[in-house]
Amino acid sequence: MTPGPQDPQIVFERELERYLTDQRMTRRQMLARVAAVGAAVALAPVVAACNAAGVTSPSPSAASPSAPGASAPPSATPSPSRSPTPVPSPESELFIYNWDAYIGDHTVADFQSKYGIRVKYDKFPDADTQMTKLRSDGKGGGYDVSYPASTEIPALITDGVLLALDPGLIPNAANLRPEWTSPGYDPGNKYSMPNYWWTTGFAWDPGRIPDDLTSWDALWDIRWKSHMGMLDDQREVFAVAGFRLGLSPNTTSETDLDAMLAILKEQKPLLRKYTDDDIGDVTSGDLWISHAWSGDWYQMIADKPKTKYVVPATGAVRGNDTMVVLSGAKHPIAAQLWINYNLDAQVSANNTNYIGYMGPNAAAEALIDPAITGDQRLNPPQSILDKLVELLYLPPADLDKYTKRWTELRA
Amino acid sequence: MAAPPTPAGAAGVNGTAGAAGTTLSPAVAAIRVPFVNRLAGIVLILPGVLWLALFFLAPLVIILVVSLGTRDAGGHITLANPGVQNYIQATRPEYLPAFANSLRYAGITTILSILIGYPIAYWISRFGGRQKILLLILVMLPFWTSYLIRTYAWMIILRDNGVLNSILQAVGLTNDPIVFLNTDFSVILGMTYGFLPFAILPLFVSIDRMDHHLVEAARDLFASGRAAFLHVTLPLTMPGIIAAALLTFIPAIGDYVTPDLLGGAQTTTIAKIVQVLFTSGRDWPYGSALGFLLMVVTLAGTLLALRTLRREVLA
């Protein structure tokens, strides 16, 4: 292969060299192109997510039972049994997402054996993780049932994360006490059923603090410096400042919030921590006194029986959480069966007896341990109930007023 | 630094091929080989590039895009009015104390990690003998347990009624428990504990690679042990010290878990502020902007420090 085809060979060589040179030159372009593709790939889901959110949000109160199906993005993986079948025969599986140790110890097992439904029960460590997961795909992150706080419900409904409940599948809703049949966050319980309710007061160790504390002022007492805790929860902390100053914990007034921030700034140097674990920090002895949830106090006394708790008479937060079916639920019938089951008088009483949070269930009351129903700290009398305030959902512009001050306080 | 050889090598081969002139088949072969090499190189680098593009570049771009966005009335991220308003918000002077805490914790952690890690690395390298590998495995042993669990263990040790206070009280050094947990002390202790192995490993590599004969030569020339260390060992192992400092400082400044678990009301770091903005504040654009800003500041600071160090130490 020498003389004759010399020219073409040289041409070939040149072509090859040129090709390589071109390669080198285009590599930069290729990098640019790769970057562009990368950006496009990266941006697509962001934009898509924004668009999906934009599509779902404008139609909040078109809340017919078909709404969640309609609001689910068409590109989503089709789930075979989303819409309730005419004959409600429950599916064979159920995916639940709840707090750890937040239900009667044999409720899940009893449900499984009664209905032959296999329950997969996942737990989350804090409400922020829960919300991130449930909102990850805009329809519940693959779960059928979860337990959001009541304050989350309006936004979850608006965003199409929840499935409208079928009242026909939840006859035990009749067990609810009258004040829970149409709560402010979800009139008529169309999308959620109340689960537990509680108060936010403060707990203390009488071994360290023998005083009989009754007022929020105790959380500003310099004597407990370095042994005092507040919950790591911006709305709850501002609520305490509000009760101390006689201001609403749902205020959106900048002046009110500045006043709250001012006394919280006075309090901060006295604090040991803003705690995520009021139970552990009080029972371990690090905190002598801590802002705490009533149910957490009930768990503290398991380890430290003398721990005290008070709901100050000037006012406190009443919170509740809910049971919901998620719009992406693959087992909606089983999910509503589960909710109905947990509204049963005996099951509801079992749940309360195990963890100490009061339920909204009138029929269950006779079956609850008198040590719980008779304890004013867990089941406050009407005079205190009248002073309790529900934290309301705040739209972003108003929540920002809190966040701005909360981050300033924490920094 | 590792990148240049391939293109340079390829160019060299190309050059010789060109010089070989008209003999055709070897020339073609010479060209074809680097092409294949280049192809092999691309194939080899592809997984890494894809990985970085997917899991580093893409998230970074997402954060950048989100940070330029805003939220609509329902709280959803929208790019309708992109702008830098979040970055302007993120520079609030109110956040300076948290930023100062982050810097302080990361700085002290880095210095302590090097001060503690250097003698350990030196000892393993010089006196480890046959046990070197075993000793290095011991350094890395903590990684076999989750960092979270080890941090919780520190909480148990440092609590008011924890192990440390029990010992101090039993020995009679104190009556009332000393508050260790939820203080600057516990944060720095936890972070130094956590980052120490990251300092020891690069220090070990640079000390172990150093030719010890140079120290002997210095001693032969009547350098004291101290002088030999300061003028021979230290400068020669400076790359290891810089690597150790970078591997400690950069992750330490963004550390969220340790200050959150071992810290308290007075130890808030900027990472916690970012977390608050994302979670209870539900303001992803703002949180992204603050996070991105933190990253840029860290990167700029690191590059500046590296440059200064290189000029002063390695020149």
**What DSSP line would sit under B284-300, residue for residue?**
HHHHHHHHHHHHHHHHH
Q: B 62-121 residues with CB below 8 A of A? A: 62, 65-66, 69, 71-79, 92, 94-99
**In the predicted structure, residue B272 carries a pLDDT above the cut 90:** yes
The answer to whether residue A61 neighbours chain B at the CB level (below 8 Å) is no
Res B10: pLDDT: 39
Res A319: pLDDT: 93
Res A13: pLDDT: 55
What are A293-339's pLDDT values in tens digits? 998 998 899 999 999 999 999 999 999 999 999 999 999 999 999 99
Nearest to B181 among A13, A155, A286 (CB): A286
Give A-chain residues touching B77 at CB under 8 angstroms. 46, 49-50, 53
Res A334: pLDDT: 96
The answer to whether residue B160 neighbours chain A at the CB level (below 8 Å) is yes
Res B305: pLDDT: 80
Res B309: pLDDT: 74
**In the predicted structure, residue B72 carries a pLDDT above the cut 80:** yes
Of A24-28, B130-134, B136-140, B146-150, the range with the lowest mean pLDDT is: A24-28
The answer to whether residue A226 neighbours chain B at the CB level (below 8 Å) is yes
The answer to whether residue A77 neighbours chain B at the CB level (below 8 Å) is no
Q: A 273-292 residues with CB below 8 A of B? A: 273-274, 284-286
Average pLDDT score over residue span A114-126: 92
Nearest CA in chain B to A277: B261
Instruction: Select from B13, B14, B23, B24 the residue whose CB has the most chain A CBs within 10 Å, as the one to mutate to test that interface.
Output: B24
Nearest to A13 among B31, B74, B279 (CB): B31
Residue B96 vs residues A85, A262, A273, B254, B255: alpha-carbon distances, Å? 58, 18, 20, 15, 17
**In the predicted structure, residue A15 carries a pLDDT above the cut 80:** no
To the nearest whole angstrom, how far is the Cα of B105 from the nearest Cα of chain A?
A: 14
Res B31: pLDDT: 56
Nearest to A43 among B32, B65, B266 (CB): B65
Instruction: Select from B104, B148, B157, B282 the residue whose CB has the most chain A CBs within 10 Å, as the one to mutate to test that interface.
Output: B282
Domain A198-318+396-410 is in which class? Answer: alpha beta
**In the predicted structure, residue B293 carries a pLDDT above the cut 70:** yes
Q: B 187-246 residues with CB below 8 A of A? A: none
Confidence band, pLDDT 50/70/90 cuts, at residue A49: very low
Give A-chain residues touching B59 at CB under 8 angstroms. 42
Interface contact A57-B263, CB threshold 8 A: no
CA-CA distance, A152 to A324, in Å (whole number)? 11
What are B176-202's pLDDT values in tens digits? 999 999 999 999 999 999 999 999 999
Confidence band, pLDDT 50/70/90 cuts, at residue B166: very high
B162: left (phi over 0), alpha (psi -120 to 50) or beta: beta
What's chain A's average pLDDT?
Answer: 83
Expressed in percent and rounded to 5, the helix, strand and coil fractions of chain A are 50, 15, 35
Q: Three-state SS for A5?
A: coil
Q: Tell me the whole-structure pTM to 2 decimals.
A: 0.78
The domain segmentation of chain B, as residue ranges, is 5-67, 93-314
Distance of CA A342 to the CA centre of its chain: 19
Res A154: pLDDT: 92
Nearest CA in chain B to A9: B24
The answer to whether residue A302 neighbours chain B at the CB level (below 8 Å) is no
Confidence band, pLDDT 50/70/90 cuts, at residue B34: confident
Domain B93-314 superfamily per CATH? MetI-like (1.10.3720.10)
Nearest to B74 among A38, A39, A57 (CB): A57
Give A-chain residues touching B273 at CB under 8 angstroms. 407, 410-411
To the nearest whole angstrom, how far is the Cα of B158 from the nearest Cα of chain A?
A: 10
Res B280: pLDDT: 86
Strand residues in chain B grouped as ranges (E): 70-71, 77-78
Res B41: pLDDT: 87
Interface contact B161-A285, CB threshold 8 A: yes
Residue with tokens 């309360």, as numbered in its chain? A352
Residue-by-residue DSSP string for B39-98: HHHHHHHHHHHHHHIIIIIHHHHHHHHHHT-EE-TTS-EE-SS--SHHHHHHT-GGGHHH
Average pLDDT score over residue span A239-251: 97
High-pLDDT (> 70) share of chain A, %: 79
The structure tokens listed for B1 are 């630094």
Domain A88-197+319-380 is in which class? Answer: alpha beta
Q: Three-state SS for A291?
A: strand
Confidence band, pLDDT 50/70/90 cuts, at residue B312: low
Q: A 100-119 residues with CB below 8 A of B? A: none
Most confident of A246-250, B88-92, B300-304: A246-250
- State ipTM: 0.84
Give B-chain residues touching A408 at CB under 8 angstroms. 92, 94-95
Res A403: pLDDT: 96
High-pLDDT (> 90) share of chain B, %: 75
What are B214-268's pLDDT values in tens digits? 999 999 999 999 999 999 999 999 989 999 999 999 999 999 999 999 999 999 9
Res A59: pLDDT: 32
What are A35-44's pLDDT values in tens digits? 444 444 445 4
Residue with tokens 């159920």, as numbered in its chain? A94
To the nearest whole angstrom, how far is the Cα of B148 from the nearest Cα of chain A?
A: 14
CA-CA distance, A153 to A155, in Å (whole number)? 6
Answer for the pair B274, B98: CB distance below 8 angstroms, yes or no: no
What are A63-83's pLDDT values in tens digits? 333 333 333 333 333 344 444
**In the predicted structure, residue B56 carries a pLDDT above the cut 60:** yes
What are A361-397's pLDDT values in tens digits? 999 999 999 989 888 888 898 888 889 999 998 989 9
CA-CA distance, B308 to B311, in Å (whole number)? 5
Interface contact A158-B31, CB threshold 8 A: no
Q: Three-state SS for A358?
A: strand
The answer to whether residue B179 neighbours chain A at the CB level (below 8 Å) is yes
Res A127: pLDDT: 83
Answer for the pair A352, A196: CB distance below 8 angstroms, yes or no: yes
Give B-chain residues touching A13 at CB under 8 angstroms. 24, 27-28, 31
What's chain B's average pLDDT?
Answer: 88
To the nearest whole angstrom, how far is the Cα of B77 from the nearest Cα of chain A?
A: 6
Give A-chain residues touching B163 at CB under 8 angstroms. none
Give A-chain residues touching B35 at CB under 8 angstroms. 16, 20
Res B306: pLDDT: 82
Res A281: pLDDT: 96
Give A-chain residues touching B9 at CB under 8 angstroms. none
**In the predicted structure, residue B139 carries a pLDDT above the cut 70:** yes
What are A309-318's pLDDT values in tens digits? 999 999 999 9
CA-CA distance, B241 to B207, in Å (whole number)? 10
Residue with tokens 């952690």, as numbered in its chain? B109
Answer for the pair A351, A107: CB distance below 8 angstroms, yes or no: yes
Average pLDDT score over residue span A194-213: 96
End-to-end CA distance of chain B: 17
Nearest to B74 among A47, A158, A268 (CB): A158
Confidence band, pLDDT 50/70/90 cuts, at residue B304: confident
